[in-house]
Amino acid sequence: MLAQNITLLEDALTKGMLPDIDTFPSPFTGEKAQTGVIRIIFPEFTCLCPKTGYPDFASIDLYYLPDKVCLELKSWNSILTPSV
């Protein structure tokens, strides 16, 4: 069984299906630029398995070292949480 209505990320990007991502200036500049790792954890992520179509559960841990801007958390959450 293959889940229906699956959109590939590349298609979603080219068709403008993803929400805008808000950013803010990185507070880690100068000497702090290489030590300002940001950690975002989503402990309860649910999705459908693309192979079986059954519910699946995961944890997403995102670590990144911002250069000039940081990702605004609500923007990231809007990508993971589908609007109903």
The mean pLDDT value for 42-50 works out to: 82
Q: One of 11, 20, 47, 49 is an active-site residue; which one? A: 49
φ, ψ of residue 20 in degrees (nearest 5):
-65, 145
Domain ranges of the chain: 9-80
Identify whether 70 is a catalytic site residue. Answer: no
pLDDT tens sequence across 17-35: 777 788 889 888 777 667 7
Give me the mean pLDDT over the 5-24 stretch: 80
pLDDT above 50 for 77: yes
The 3-class SS string of the chain reads CCCCCCCCHHHHHHCCCCCCCCEEECCCCHHHHHCCCEEEEEEEEEEECCCCCCEEEEEEEEEECCCCEEECHHHHHHHHCCCC
pLDDT attached to residue 46: 83
In the set 11, 47, 56, 67, the catalytic residue is 56
50, 8 in Cβ contact below 8 A?
A: no
Could you tell me the pLDDT band of residue 84, with boundaries at 50, 70 and 90? very low
- Can you give the pTM of this predicted structure? 0.57
Q: Which fold has domain 9-80?
A: GTP Cyclohydrolase I, domain 2 (3.30.1130)
Confidence of residue 1 (pLDDT cuts 50, 70, 90): very low
Q: Catalytic: 56?
A: yes
